[in-house]
Amino acid sequence: MDMDSPALLLLLMSAVTWSVMARSPHQYHFVSEEKSWTDAQALCREQFTDLATVESEQDVGRLLQLAGDHGHSGEVWIGLYQDVQSWTWSLNQAAFYGEGEMGYSNWGHDQPDNYRDADDPECCIEMKDEGKGYMWNDIPCKFNRHFICYDGNSDSLILSNGTLSWEDAQRYCRTHHTDLASVRNESEQQQVSAILRASTWIGLYRDCLLFRWSDQSGSPFRNWSSSSPSPWGNCAAVDVTRGGDWYDRSCDLLKPFVCYDVPKVTHMQTMRVELKTDSQKDMSDPAVQAAILQQIEKRLREKGLPAGAKLKWREQEDGQIFSKKTEKKGMKKRSKRRSDEL
Ligand SMILES: [Ca+2]
């Protein structure tokens, strides 16, 4: 760009607006009506955003304060729960599975049922002869079963002679072969069934202590009591009279609960910008506009623009983003200073 040729220089005027979305704090809402965890979740999602996500000591304090304000003592549901359907293969390499193969299943009648009279929760999967072939069943991982390993070097299945717990079987397969066998499709289901002689472990399991937030927050913050979590309770309750400690409880219990919502846009700001350009660029091209916006955003981030802020061009009345100005002496200096202010 030749700075000495004012005739070729255009000064473009426009405005950028940005809004900052509130990330925190969540606004908590206490609901005194007692409901099961699932019903509480449904109500929170209908009337607010979701069951409460608690992400810091500060959040624990706010929640206790709220329950206190409502004169409540005892336990309240929050949005933490165990997804009892979160089955995972021990051999956990995405490339090993074709489309849909990671989610293939061949459950037996009414399985998985996480049968509650068992000594332990049912978090590991055996293949069991149900009369019409070997079907999948969840049982406690500590049971001893035959097991079937997969060997990646020979691409073959190896059936054990003896029996082990699921974890010991996994360790054995990983030491001597590749891993416990996955069953990825109908053809492998038949292949495995054909060599089984008794109930046998395959590589499917779930982490019995893995809790997640109802709103899919990845927050790792936990405030468990010393006795929790156990593998038994699949939903988390806060005891507001015992310092806000968390306890894992049966999700069917009826309790008051805390929902949250997030205030929407909290802050919006508009900034006027002046740009110098040669006439080669088509400034009405959305790609050009986006590229310039990206540059402005980068500069603003360096100057402390909050991470949640979203920038966009403000359209003028004629639908255009930019309006043209002719360069005049004296303007040059001013516009330079403005761009430095970015
Ligand atoms: Ca079962």
pLDDT per residue as tens digits for the range 271-303: 787 777 776 778 788 888 888 888 888 888 888
Least confident range from 17-21, 148-152, 270-274: namely 17-21
Q: Output the CA 234–ligand 1 centroid distance in Å.
A: 16
| Spatial contact of 164 and 76, defined as CB atoms under 8 Å apart | no
CA of 178 to the centre of ligand 1 (A): 27
The alpha carbon of 122 and the centre of ligand 1 are apart by a number of angstroms equal to 6
pLDDT of residue 279: 66
Q: What is the pTM of this model?
A: 0.60
Q: How close is the Cα of 124 to the center of ligand 1, in Å?
A: 9
Quote the ligand 1 centre to 340 CA distance (angstroms): 67
Q: What is the distance in A from the centroid of ligand 1 to the CA of 181?
A: 19
pLDDT at 62: 93
- At 74-100, the pLDDT tens digits run 999 999 999 888 899 999 999 999 999
* Rounded mean pLDDT, 117-128: 85
Instruction: Give mean pLDDT, residues 161-171.
Output: 97
In angstroms, the CA 98 to CA 104 distance is 10
Q: What is the Å distance from ligand 1's center to 95 Cα?
A: 29
More confident residue, 269 or 151: 151
pLDDT tens track for 64-76: 999 999 999 899 9
Is the pLDDT at 245 greater than 50, yes or no?
A: yes
Q: How far is the CA of 162 from the centre of ligand 1 (A)?
A: 22
Range of lowest pLDDT (18-22, 227-231, 260-264, 331-335)? 331-335
Q: How far is the CA of 121 from the centre of ligand 1 (A)?
A: 9
Gyration radius (Cα) of the chain, Å: 30
Mean pLDDT computed over 192-205: 96
pLDDT at 154 over 90: yes
| Contact by Cβ (8 Å): 123, 113 | no
Tokens of 40: 């509480």
* pLDDT band for position 2 (cuts 50, 70, 90): very low
